[in-house]
Amino acid sequence: MTRIALATCAALPDLDRDDLPLQDALTGLGVEAVATVWDDPAVDWAGFDLVVIRSAWDYAQRRDEFLRWAEQVQAVTRLANPSSVVRWNTDKHYLRELELAGVPVVPTMWIEPAQNLSSRALHTRFPAHGDFVIKPAISAGSVDTGRYTAIDATSRGLAITHARRLLGADRTIMVQRYLKSVDTVGERAHVFIDGEHSHSVLKGAMLDGPDVGVDGIYKEERMSPTTASAAEIEVSRNAIAVALDTVRASSPAGTDLESFLYARVDVVSGDDDEPVLMELELVEPSLFTSLAEGSLDRLAQAVLRRATAGR
């Protein structure tokens, strides 16, 4: 019998709601689909034909451990997406590579811990007007992400505290203008399965103020089905193609990188209304199959194909 592990985190040992239908669909296909906690030492990863990373949302502060885990799993069985993808995609510095290759991304100022900036120096780097966002380069689930108002002294002070807290923990921060379209139009998530566009969902705004800490490992999202414009699909396809080329170049021979099992391309409208990339999720995106007819079956079939490939 084909056995597939759906890797999750200790806080969600029975999987996130978003992934339960996948487990059921795989069971319906005659496969044993088991929820496994990625850092549970008792799991025998070699006993699975395929390990699919799903709601492993607690790696942001221990990424090295997560990368080691991905490499160890890949040494004994198939991992989707592969460990070289996990390495590349869990640090948002990848956005710079995509940008260099011509993909439009949200304009970002990167501040590295090694720069040792004083509060004053941080202050001068924050935007002078409008709202702005501070978030860690290694993050998931909108955790440690805050929205600030440039001309409000209290808000600016909170932004500096937030930035110093992350930098003090040796984490790179990203500073971006708050894109108003996130409030008015919404962020769009385009889900690709095995390289093909499957469905798209609209995501409501996530940030209403300073980072006050999240009670849990992710912030609750409000999603609804939507259709994708041709321009957004074009940007998404291009981002995925560049990512595939980039990761292939750094992958050991034999890595399965025909296509990504899943990719979610999060797109927002820039100030001139053109689509820009907020993030390319290749590791642990919610896939929202419950919002799009047929998408669950496409995903389950794609998972099964990988699990049984070469048999």
Binding site for ligand ADP (CB under 6 A): 106, 133, 135, 139-142, 145, 176, 178-179, 182, 187, 205-207, 266, 278-279
Neighbours of 62 (CB within 10 A): 13
- The partner in contact with residue 205, picked from Mg ion, ligand ADP, none with C-beta cut-offs of 5 to 8 angstroms by kind, is ligand ADP
* CB distance 60 to 144 below 8 Å: yes
Region binding Mg ion by CB under 5 A among candidate stretches 100-108, 143-151, 245-253, 276-284: 276-284
Least distance CB 77 / ligand ADP (angstroms): 27
* CB distance 54 to 262 below 8 Å: no
Report strand pairing: 78-80 vs 50-53.
parallel
Least distance CB 131 / ligand ADP (angstroms): 8
- CB-nearer residue toward Mg ion: 13 or 204: 204
Region binding Mg ion by CB under 5 A among candidate stretches 37-45, 192-200, 221-229, 273-281: 273-281
* CB distance 63 to 237 below 8 Å: no
> Torsions phi, psi of 246, nearest 5?
-65, -45
| DSSP code of residue 172 | -
Residue nearest to ligand ADP (CB): 206
Residue nearest to Mg ion (CB): 279
Whole-number Å distance between alpha carbons of 217 and 257: 30
Region binding Mg ion by CB under 5 A among candidate stretches 91-99, 197-205, 277-285, 290-298: 277-285
* CB distance 144 to 218 below 8 Å: no
* CB distance 25 to 296 below 8 Å: yes
- The partner in contact with residue 207, picked from Mg ion, ligand ADP, none with C-beta cut-offs of 5 to 8 angstroms by kind, is ligand ADP
- CB-nearer residue toward ligand ADP: 106 or 263: 106
Whole-number Å distance between alpha carbons of 223 and 288: 8
- The partner in contact with residue 284, picked from ligand ADP, Mg ion, none with C-beta cut-offs of 5 to 8 angstroms by kind, is none
Among positive and negative, which fits the CA dihedral 17, 240, 89, 86? Answer: positive
- CB-nearer residue toward Mg ion: 58 or 279: 279
Give contact residues for Mg ion (rule: CB under 5 A).
279
